[in-house]
Amino acid sequence: MASHMGCFLGCVLIVVALLQGAAAKTHIVGDTSGWTVPSSSSFYVNWAASQTFSVDDILEFNFQTGSHDVAVVSKADYTSCTKGNPIGSIINTGPAKITINSTGDHYYICTFGQHCENNQKLAITVGSTNGTTPTPTPTPTSSPGPSSSTTPTTPTGTSPTSSPSSASSLTVGGFSFLLLSTVIAFFY
């Protein structure tokens, strides 16, 4: 009986590890267009609206080193394209991979020339788990306001919770909790 319990606990730990590992997703910012000055002012707004972002997901900004960069900024600096107040270091080497480590609103801009003013900027909303929080569509701005020396703040927000209609339909990263219940039933 003790060996069955040890095996059962081992299987449960493996399933939990698979569920956690499967939850992270890599988002290629701009898909095949990459991180560049877009052809339309709503390009990155539309791209973000088609995605669902979660903590531990990765944003991959594909760009040619020396032509673009990525800066994490506050909402005010995103709106006004203020380049002098990045949150952390500006990433100058492409491709840049940024792991999302908190829920809420996150803002990214390119600090080269007038790239941000020409809509090379991205705003996303991050939920706590995959598949539970849709990304709202931020409103693009057509002209930057005057620069200010606002102290950057870490993006914050809340994440709504969702409750599945039944335990058998709950999935995380494509793995079903039905799998976990099958493993449990196997040992009992």
Kindly report, residue by residue over 44-103, the tens digit of the pLDDT: 999 999 999 999 999 999 999 999 999 999 999 999 999 999 999 999 999 999 999 999
Give the pLDDT confidence of 93-126 residue by residue, as tens digits.
999 999 999 999 999 999 999 999 999 999 999 9
Residues with Cβ within 8 Å of 93's Cβ and at least 6 positions away in sequence, in order, are 65
Question: Is the overall model pTM greater than 0.75, yes or no?
Answer: no
Strand order in the sheet with 96-99: 26-28, 58-61, 96-99
Q: Which CATH architecture does the domain made up of 23-156 adopt?
A: Sandwich (2.60)
